[in-house]
Amino acid sequence: MYDFNTLYEPTTVEEALKLKKQHPEALILAGGSDILIKLREGKLAGSDLISIYRLDDLRGVSLEKDGTIVIRPLTSFSGITIHPVVKQYIPVLGEAVDQIGGPQIRNIGTIGGNICNGVTSADSATTLKAYDAILELSSEDGVRLLPYNDFNLGPGRVDMGPEEILTAIRIPKESYERTYGHYIKYAKRKAMDIATLGCSVNVRLSEDKKRIERLRIAFGVAAPTPIRAVSAEQEANGQPIGEDLLERIAEKTLADVMPRSSWRASKEFRLHLVKELARRAATAAIEKAGGKIHG
């Protein structure tokens, strides 16, 4: 038995929003792979829960007419990885979430839960930040669109009102078209582990594939929240591809991050990882895009 108080089970999104307004203190339960575990540990004893897991309207991925990719928040990690729209346009997201936990966790864990938790290690967060995802936050009073890059306020704290529920994650076409991405998760084990550091890069090259038209880079566990490395991006944009550019990008990332020491790794090791993963992920993304680092 889980130690919670009242469980609300809305059968429609409208009903869920109504319940959230009536019970703003109640926790939204998606796949439960964080909340049910915290309940087992007694950390959330006595909480009220609103289970939205069975709301199929909030599950799935689609492509809108204007090219926007819409990811519904209850889509499981395995559902993201196998989805044809993800595979075709943003395969790096599918590859990133395929490194979470193990198969059972990837079947239950949801992408919405992953980002609403607000933890810095969320494997989906870096790629969504690097793609300038826009969050659709709904309440009974209406819909609010918020850039995901403005969502995290601190460790475990996000810009979501007590009456709001995440109802979609949107990635505009302008963000992903002609881009190639790569994600590296550095962890102690190949599975069932939390990232010591995560780095997601996506790049759009010029037509002759000799220059970087636009590069985006985001880190997990390099700061209290997942972050974009804006200085490194500015260093890269418009520049000719080459080994010295990769070195400059890697060096610049240090201006954007502020990792800390934890039992997983020291601050110094994380800073080393920031540079090295940035270099490796950027190299892989450029190569996927058809660019050549040497000559």
Partner 1 sequence: MANKLITCTVNGKRREYFIDVRSSLSDMLRGNEGLTSIKHGCDVGECGACTVLIDGLPFNSCIYLAIWAEGKDILTLEGLSDVKGAVSDIQQAFIDEGAVQCGFCTPGFIMSSIPIITQEKPSSREEIRKLVAGNLCRCTGYEKIIDAIQKTQAKRIRERKTSNGE
Closest approach of Cβ 38 to partner 1, in Å?
A: 9
Q: Angle CA(143)–CA(146)–CA(147) in degrees, nearest 5?
A: 155
24, 102, 162, 238: which one binds partner 1 (CB under 8 A): 102
* Separation in Å, CA 234 to CA 195, 199, 212, 252, 292: 26, 17, 11, 9, 20
First to last CA, the chain: 62
- Segment 60 to 79, residues that bind partner 1, using CB under 8 A: 78
Q: Does 1 bind partner 1 (CB under 8 A)?
A: yes
Closest approach of Cβ 176 to partner 1, in Å?
A: 27
Q: At what angle do helices 267-288 and 243-253 cross, to 10 degrees?
A: 140
Closest approach of Cβ 155 to partner 1, in Å?
A: 21
Closest approach of Cβ 22 to partner 1, in Å?
A: 17
13, 27, 36, 85: which one binds partner 1 (CB under 8 A): 36
Q: Does 117 bind partner 1 (CB under 8 A)?
A: no
Pairing of strands 49-51, 27-29: parallel
> Which residues contact residue 126 at a Cβ distance below 8 angstroms, ignoring those fewer than 6 apart?
96, 183, 198, 199, 200, 218, 219, 220, 226
The backbone torsions φ and ψ at residue 158, rounded to the nearest 5 degrees and listed phi first, read -130, 160
The backbone torsions φ and ψ at residue 242, rounded to the nearest 5 degrees and listed phi first, read 180, 170
Nearest to 59 by CA among 1, 9, 108, 118: 108
> How far apart are alpha carbons 27 and 39 in whole angstroms?
12
Query: In terms of CB distance, is 3 or 213 closer to partner 1?
Result: 3
Closest approach of Cβ 40 to partner 1, in Å?
A: 5
How many residues sit in the footprint of partner 1 (CB under 8 A)? 28
24, 103, 156, 238: which one binds partner 1 (CB under 8 A): 103
Q: Does 45 bind partner 1 (CB under 8 A)?
A: no
3-class secondary structure, 167: strand
- State the binding string over 182-221 for partner 1 (x if CB under 8 A, else -): --------xxx-----------------------------
Q: Does 41 bind partner 1 (CB under 8 A)?
A: yes
Q: Please report, as ranges, the residues that interact with partner 1 according to CB under 8 A.
A: 1-4, 6-7, 9, 29, 32-33, 36-37, 40-41, 51, 53-54, 78, 101-105, 107-108, 190-192
